[in-house]
């Protein structure tokens, strides 16, 4: 397994390099409508380090969203193990899983904002549920950080696609997640807006040292990541070595 890129080695210079997510022979099998077993993930092994940015690539139907859902604790594996910060997920009960989900953020292709809540309320809600005291001030700060300080009272339908995705990014980062998962974050955006979302994700990734795990078909977005992993035939392969130039 590759060591993280130079940037992260620098950040981790005085600390042990730590994997934030590790999987061992991760399996996901589902039964389709005809009663046929579908072996989506057939033994995925991976190790992702603190602060890294990783792209997960693969053709449509390869199982990328399935894998992301398992890593984020949204679905349960059929076999194998996932460790989040050295904690095995299979050992967690319902409450443990709920706590675990508070350590991760998720950005979806379709934004998934609550339609009847304003931008501010969308960002505030998970913070409030997590017991954060200054949830309103924190939500407002995050909306300002993604450039939406003037849009706090807008409902999702009153926002453009790029603005909605920025609200979703603010919501995901506001919880100060260890890992931020994004499934096709630019998939529903035009290329200019998509680029601004990419820039925003990577700026926040650097500033907060959040680990970023992205599923994308967007070659430009994948190139921004330190590592690219490709899912095919139910297995994950490291596609390219760290492409970030070593600094002198």
Which residues on adjacent β-strands are paired with residue 228?
55, 240
* Minimum distance from residue 59 beta carbon to ligand ATP (Å): 7
Instruction: Outline where 72-153 has alpha helix (H).
Output: 94-101, 119-129, 135-145
Looking at the Cβ atoms of 143 and 215, the one nearer to Mg ion is: 215
| Strands 79-84 vs 235-240: parallel, antiparallel or unpaired | unpaired
Pick one of Mg ion, ligand ATP, none as the site partner of residue 210 (Cβ within 5 to 8 A by kind). Answer: none
* Minimum distance from residue 63 beta carbon to ligand ATP (Å): 4
Rg (CA), the chain: 18
Assess contact for 51 and 25: CB atoms under 8 A: no
Pick one of ligand ATP, Mg ion, none as the site partner of residue 60 (Cβ within 5 to 8 A by kind). Answer: ligand ATP
Pick one of ligand ATP, Mg ion, none as the site partner of residue 61 (Cβ within 5 to 8 A by kind). Answer: ligand ATP
* Minimum distance from residue 184 beta carbon to ligand ATP (Å): 7
* Minimum distance from residue 187 beta carbon to Mg ion (Å): 9
- Region of 234 (left: φ > 0; alpha: ψ -120 to 50; beta: rest) is left
Question: Which positions from 45 to 74 touch Mg ion by CB under 5 A, shown as an x/- string?
Answer: --------------------x---------
* Minimum distance from residue 215 beta carbon to ligand ATP (Å): 6
Position closest to Mg ion via CB: 65
- What does the DSSP 8-state code read for residue 157? G
Looking at the Cβ atoms of 36 and 91, the one nearer to ligand ATP is: 36
Pick one of ligand ATP, Mg ion, none as the site partner of residue 186 (Cβ within 5 to 8 A by kind). Answer: none
H/E stretch holding 205:
helix 191-208
Task: For the chain, count helices (H), then strands (E).
Answer: 8, 10
Assess contact for 201 and 182: CB atoms under 8 A: yes
Binding site for ligand ATP (CB under 6 A): 30, 32, 38, 40, 58, 60-66
Buried b (16+ CB within 10 A) or exposed e, 53-71: bbbbbbeeebbbbbbbbbb
Looking at the Cβ atoms of 15 and 60, the one nearer to Mg ion is: 60
Pick one of ligand ATP, Mg ion, none as the site partner of residue 88 (Cβ within 5 to 8 A by kind). Answer: none
Residues binding Mg ion (CB under 5 A): 65
């Amino acid at each position: 397994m590759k060591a993280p890129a130079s940037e992260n080695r620098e950040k981790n210079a005085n600390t042990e390099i730590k994997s934030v997510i590790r999987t061992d022979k991760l399996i996901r099998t589902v039964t389709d409508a005809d009663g046929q077993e579908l072996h989506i993930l057939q033994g995925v092994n991976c190790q992702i380090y603190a602060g890294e940015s990783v792209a997960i690539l693969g053709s449509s139907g390869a199982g990328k969203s399935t894998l992301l859902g398992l890593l984020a604790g949204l679905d349960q594996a059929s076999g194998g193990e996932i460790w989040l910060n050295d904690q095995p997920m299979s050992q967690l009960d319902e409450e443990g899983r709920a706590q675990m989900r508070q350590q991760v953020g998720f950005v979806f292709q379709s934004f998934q904002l609550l339609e009847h809540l304003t931008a501010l309320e969308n960002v505030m809600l998970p913070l409030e549920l997590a017991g954060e005291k200054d949830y309103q001030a924190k939500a407002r700060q995050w909306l300002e950080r993604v450039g939406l300080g003037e849009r706090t009272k807008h409902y999702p339908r009153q926002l453009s696609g790029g603005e909605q995705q920025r609200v979703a990014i603010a919501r995901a980062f506001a919880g100060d997640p260890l890992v931020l998962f994004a499934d096709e974050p630019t998939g529903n955006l035009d290329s200019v807006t998509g680029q601004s979302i990419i820039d925003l994700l990577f700026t926040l990734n650097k500033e907060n040292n959040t680990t970023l795990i992205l599923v994308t078909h967007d070659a430009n977005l994948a190139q921004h990541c330190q590592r690219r992993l490709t899912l095919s035939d139910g297995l994950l392969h490291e596609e390219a070595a760290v492409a970030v130039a070593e600094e002198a």
